């Protein structure tokens, strides 16, 4: 049986799709996580990299991912740190998946801090702040529906983009939007799940199971 390893943390919060049997779950990857994993297995398997550390510990390294690829491991990236590394390492054979990955792959100006957030240090790694990529999706929805003007959307994007990522919280967003006259903001952020792109990417990925497809082994 193929050994499959998923590095995940806050991206799994609120997920409604179960992690398939046979996948070994690991905490968010940090520097040397991949090297330690591959050293424990004589036969290459599959690495699914969703979440990784940013500042609390050194981030998972390009070299260890390249070594895994060169050793025959199938390596996928999505959601957060995985999406960043997949976009950077596509030429070396790392595969990417999902909306967040495509943003990094298609827009060189899309910054790493778009997916950064503060979360608990122990399982289930509950998020404390909200990544900018989710806030951006929500504000885009408000602009399309006419709940906010284009100027208000731009103002809010600029204000939250220039905040430290730990201060990008839903209560802060609701207060700001209420000040702009968006009276239902508080109720809407309580149902914010639909805009959590990282979680949706993970759910879709686990349902599609692309690492099991024949073309993934070509």
Number of H helices, E strands in the chain: 9, 5
Q: Which of these, 132, 130, 125, lies nearest to 170 by C-alpha position?
A: 130
pLDDT of residue 183: 80
Render pLDDT for 162-199 as a digit per residue (tens, 0 to 9).
999 999 999 999 999 999 998 877 777 778 999 999 99
Render pLDDT for 190-208 as a digit per residue (tens, 0 to 9).
789 999 999 999 999 999 9
The CA-to-CA distance between both ends of the chain, in Å, stands at 18
pTM to 2 decimals?
Answer: 0.94
């Amino acid at each position: 049986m193929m050994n499959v390893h998923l590095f995940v943390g806050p991206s799994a919060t609120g997920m409604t799709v179960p992690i398939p049997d046979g996948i070994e779950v690991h905490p968010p990857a940090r520097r040397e996580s991949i090297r330690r994993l591959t050293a424990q297995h004589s036969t290459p398997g599959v690495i699914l990299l969703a979440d990784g550390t940013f500042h609390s510990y050194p981030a998972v390294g390009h070299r260890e991912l390249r070594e895994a690829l060169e050793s025959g491991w199938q390596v996928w990236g999505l959601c957060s740190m995985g999406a960043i590394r997949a976009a950077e390492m596509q030429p070396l054979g790392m595969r990417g998946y999902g909306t967040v990955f495509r943003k990094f792959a298609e827009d060189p100006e899309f910054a790493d801090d778009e997916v950064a957030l503060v979360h608990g240090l122990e399982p289930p790694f509950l998020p404390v702040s909200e990544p900018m990529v989710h806030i951006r999706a929500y504000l885009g929805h408000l602009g399309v529906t006419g709940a906010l003007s284009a100027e208000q959307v731009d103002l809010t994007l600029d204000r939250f983009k220039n905040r430290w990522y730990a201060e990008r919280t839903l209560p802060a967003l609701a207060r700001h939007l209420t000040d702009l006259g968006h009276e239902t903001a508080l109720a809407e952020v309580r149902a914010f799940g639909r805009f959590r792109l990282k979680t949706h990417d993970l759910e879709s990925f686990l349902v599609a199971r692309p690492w099991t497809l024949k073309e993934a082994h070509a």
